[in-house]
Amino acid sequence: MTTAIIGTGGIGSVIARRLAAGGEILRLSSADKESARTLAAEIGGAAVVAVDNRDALRGADAVVLALRFTALKGVIGEIADPLADKLVVVPSNPLAIDAQGNVVRLLPKGQSSGEAVAGWVPAAARLAMAFGTMSADLFESASGRSPEPAVLFYATDDDRAGEEVERLIRTAGFEQVKVGGIEQSGRLEEGGDLHDLVVGPAEARSLIGGR
């Protein structure tokens, strides 16, 4: 199947490499195209560079918006029509770097990136928050772990989105565990109790119920 990846930086490039290794066809887009071109050349025949963000969605079954939180709302507005009836996967944390180089939170305490993004995507899109629970390095090293696979947690309000994101998680070399609806997505994000954890399925399930 085909997935569009918009944003081919730190996390988008790792997600792309692992999905391609699992057999997914990719359509890549980035702001100035250079990082998308470099990544497509590295991946080979399974990845093409789209002309722009809207073109990335052409023929795609799903899209991963691997963008900094500050870019998300604008890009969602730009691609709103083609997002309808697609799985939209978002790994973004609500963080930015200020002028002094400090990491700052962009949303009030208690409001998650997932809850904000749910207000921006069109109603006909199927949103899942996933693929942002680990740093890019951890994600790459934990993918394809054996004999016990590592877990990627996800959150969604939509059953069909759940099935679709589970397929993508398995394609990327992980086992999937649902944390709950979008209102639970703060648990996956920076500062959440499930962020940056590399655990197997049994421990993951006990953590889900363990609060």
Ligand X SMILES: NC(=O)c1ccc[n+]([C@@H]2O[C@H](COP(=O)([O-])OP(=O)(O)OC[C@H]3O[C@@H](n4cnc5c(N)ncnc54)[C@H](OP(=O)(O)O)[C@@H]3O)[C@@H](O)[C@H]2O)c1
CA angle 112–116–117, rounded 5-degree value: 110
* Residue from 43, 57, 69, 165 in contact with ligand X (CB under 6 A): 69
85 binds ligand X (CB under 6 A): no
Instruction: Please list, in sequence order, all residues whose beta carbon lies within 8 angstroms of the beta carbon of residue 204, skipping any fewer than 6 positions away.
Output: 151, 153, 175, 177, 197
* Among 92-100, 140-148, 151-159, 199-207, the segment contacting ligand X (CB under 6 A): 92-100
Question: 96 has which bridge partners?
Answer: 104
* Residue from 37, 54, 68, 145 in contact with ligand X (CB under 6 A): 68
Q: Which residue is nearest to ligand X (CB)?
A: 9
* Residue from 3, 4, 5, 12 in contact with ligand X (CB under 6 A): 12
9 binds ligand X (CB under 6 A): yes
Choose among 72, 150, 152, 142: nearest CA to 112. Answer: 72
* Residue from 35, 112, 143, 185 in contact with ligand X (CB under 6 A): 35
* Residue from 3, 92, 112, 184 in contact with ligand X (CB under 6 A): 92
* Residue from 5, 16, 49, 66 in contact with ligand X (CB under 6 A): 66
In the bound state with ligand X, the residue whose beta carbon lies nearer, of 132 and 149, is: 132
* Residue from 10, 122, 180, 201 in contact with ligand X (CB under 6 A): 10
112 binds ligand X (CB under 6 A): no
Question: Contacts with ligand X in 163-202 (CB under 6 A)?
Answer: none
* Among 16-24, 26-34, 121-129, 178-186, the segment contacting ligand X (CB under 6 A): 26-34
What residues make contact with ligand X under the rule CB under 6 A?
Answer: 6-12, 29-32, 35, 53, 66-69, 71, 75, 91-93, 95, 132, 135-136
